[in-house]
Amino acid sequence: MNEPPKEPIKYVDSKVYLPYHYVAGDYKARYLRALKDKRILGSKCSQTGKVFVPPLMNSPESFAPCTELVEVPDRGVVTTFCIVNIPVIGRNIELPYVAASVALDGVAISIFALIQECKPEEVRMGMRVEAVWKPDGERHGDHDDIQYFRPTGEPDAPRESYINRL
C-alpha cells in the first residue's frame, strides 16, 4: 500500500444512518387511539367553532387555541384528487391509485386519503365517500385503521359545499 492509486478517487460513498424517535403529541395520539374505536376526532377552534382533522392545537386562521375535541362523521366529499402512477420507495400501494383530498362532513379542512372500490377514472370532484375500516380486532390505533375511502353512491355534493375545503 505504498503506491498512490493509479486513478484519482472520484466518488465517496456515504451511507447515512439517522434514527428518529418521534413524539406524536397528545392531540395526534388521541386522534390515533380513537381510530381503534372507529371514531374520528377533530379539534374545535375556541373562537370560530371550526373543526380541524387531524386535530390541531390552534387554529391557524384565528390564532386561538383549539381546546375541545369533537367526534366527526367518517364520511365526506372528494374535493380534489390526482391519480398516481409512480412508485415511491417503501410504499406498497398498487398502481395506479387515487390520492384525494377528502373533506369530512362538518370539518373545515380536508385530509389526504386513498380512494378505492372504483376505477380511477370514475373519481370526480364532489364525489361523496365513506371510510372503509379494518375489521374489529385488526385495528391498532394507527392511521391505517382506515384502509381507504369508497364512493357511497349518493349524488355528488354541490360545488359550493366543498370548493372552499380543497
Partner 1 sequence: MNLRNVAVVGFAQLPVVARDEHRISTEMLYPVVRQALADCGVQRDDIDYQIAGSVDYMDGRPFGFVAALDVMGSWPPRQDLHLEMDGSFCAYYAWLRMQAGDCNTALVVGHGKTSEGEPDRVMNLQLDPYYQAAIGLDPTSTAALQASAYMARTGASDADLAAVAARNRAAGARNPENQLRDATSAAELQKTPWKVEPLRAGYLPPVGETATCLILAAEGKAEKLCDRPAWIQGVDHRTEMQTIGARDLSRSASTKLAAEKALAMADVASAREVDLVELFASSPAEELIVCDALGLDAKASQPVINPSGGALCANPIMSTGLIRLGEVFRQLSGRAGARAVPNARRAIAHATQGHCLQHNLLWVLGSERRWS
Partner 2 sequence: MKRPVAVVGVGQTHHTTRRADVSIAGLVREAVDAALRDAGLEHKDIDAVVIGKAPDMLEGVAQPEQYLAGAVGAHMKPLLRVHTAGSVGASTALTAVTHVASGLYDRVLTVAFEKQSEGNAMWALSPNMPFTPPLVAGAGGFFAPYCRAYISKTKCPPHIGPMVAANARDNATRNEYAHLREPMTVDDVMNSPMLWDPIRFGETCPSSDGAIALVIANEATAKKGPRKPAWIKSGYSYAEAMWVPGRDQVSPRAGQVCSKAVYDAAGITDPWNQIDVAEIYVPFAWFEPMWLENLGFCGVGEGWKIVDRGEQKFGAHLPINPSGGVLCTNPIGASGMIRLGEAALQVMGRAGAHQVEGAKTALGHAYGGGAQYFAMWLVSSEQ
Q: Site residues (CB under 8 A) for partner 2?
A: 10-11, 14, 16, 20, 22, 24, 28, 32, 50, 52, 56, 60-61, 79-86, 88-91, 96, 99-101, 108-109, 112-114, 120, 125, 143-144, 164-166
Residues from 56 through 75 that contact partner 1 (CB under 8 A):
56-58, 60-61, 63, 65
Report yes or no: 38 and 72 within 8 Å, Cβ to Cβ: no
Task: Show the cell assigned to 37.
Answer: 374505536
Please give the biggest Cα pair distance in the chain.
79
Which does residue 88 bind out of partner 2, partner 1, none, counting CB within 5 to 8 angstroms by kind? partner 2
Report yes or no: 103 and 137 within 8 Å, Cβ to Cβ: no
Sequence letter at residue 152: T
Cis before 158 (ω within 30): no
In the complex, what is the shortest distance from the CB of residue 3 to partner 2, in angstroms, rounded to a whole number?
Answer: 24
Integer angstrom CA distances of residue 14 from 11, 17, 81 = 10, 9, 38
Determine the interface stretch with partner 1 among 38-46, 51-59, 114-122, 146-154 (rule: CB under 8 A).
Answer: 51-59
Q: Which residues are at the interface with partner 1 (CB under 8 A)?
A: 12, 14, 16-28, 56-58, 60-61, 63, 65
